[in-house]
Amino acid sequence: MSEAYADIMLDGNIMIKNLSEGSVNTEYIISDIKTDDPELKNFLFSLGCYEGEKVKIISRLAGNLVISVKNARYSIGSDLAEVIII
C-alpha cells in the first residue's frame, strides 16, 4: 500500500484532508478545490491544480509548501494549500 493511499484510508473509512496536511515527498491526486472564490480557483487552475491532477509536496519552507505539478515547481502559502483537497 502506498503512503498516499494509507493517508486516505484509515480503518476502512475515507479520510479527507487538504494539501497542507500532506507529507513531504508524497504524491497525491487532487480530489477537489474547496473555495467559493472564483479568482483563487482560476489561479490554481492556471498552475495545473484541478481535480484529478497529481501534486507532490517537495518541501516545506517557512510555512510555505514547494509543490510539483505537471513537472513545474511552485511555492504556495498555507492558505492556498488548505483549499486543495487530496
Tell me the average pLDDT of the chain: 87
% of the chain residues with pLDDT over 90: 77
CB atoms < 10 A from the CB of 72, how many? 9
DSSP H or E stretch at residue 47: helix 38-47
Does this model's pTM top 0.85? My answer is no
For residues 41 and 46, what is the distance between their CA atoms, to the nearest angstrom? 9
pLDDT tens per residue across span 4-28: 444 455 555 656 799 999 999 999 9
CA atoms within 13 A on the CB side of 68: 10
Closest Cα partner for 78 from 66, 27, 86, 54?
A: 66
Of residues 5 and 85, more confidence is placed in: 85
pLDDT, residue 4, reads 47
Class of domain 19-85: mainly beta
